[in-house]
Amino acid sequence: DARVTQTPRHKVTEMGQEVTMRCQPILGHNTVFWYRQTMMQGLELLAYFRNRAPLDDSGMPKDRFSAEMPDATLATLKIQPSEPRDSAVYFCASGLGRVAGDTYNEQFFGPGTRLTVL
């Protein structure tokens, strides 16, 4: 049963601390997305990768957020330093990003990391 895994599931930290969230995409998927979900803003795309290369990180606050894919089985999202406004649920999703005539981009979501910054 292939699925996207994320760790940790919950994280409570104090303002100013570094937070690292990890994601293992489904084996064989070549596109990985990071989203943030809040009640106020809904689901926002932060960054995404294709074949481990960053394609777009325009949704991410550059001064404190960074996203990487050190290898095909691991994607990381780091916040340094964290702030209370970063409190949200962070989702990782992966997909095949198939292009066969029309783009078809079904995404498989992980369970999310619920981050609380005090």
Partner 1 sequence: SQELEQSPQSLIVQEGKNLTINCTSSKTLYGLYWYKQKYGEGLIFLMMLQKGGEEKSHEKITAKLDEKKQQSSLHITASQPSHAGIYLCGADAGGFKTIFGAGTRLFVKA
C-alpha 53/C-alpha 60 separation (Å) is 16
Alpha helices in the chain (DSSP H): none
**Is the distance from CB of 43 to CB of 109 less than 8 angstroms?**
no
CB 40 to partner 1: min, Å:
10
Tokens of residue 72, six digits: 């095909």
Tokens of residue 28, six digits: 């064989």
For residue 108, state whether it binds partner 1 (rule: CB under 8 A): yes
Q: Using CB under 8 A, which residues numbered 29 to 88 contact partner 1? A: 31, 42-43, 45, 48, 50, 55-56
For residue 18, state whether it binds partner 1 (rule: CB under 8 A): no
- List residues binding partner 1 (CB under 8 A): 4, 31, 42-43, 45, 48, 50, 55-56, 91, 93, 95, 97, 102-112
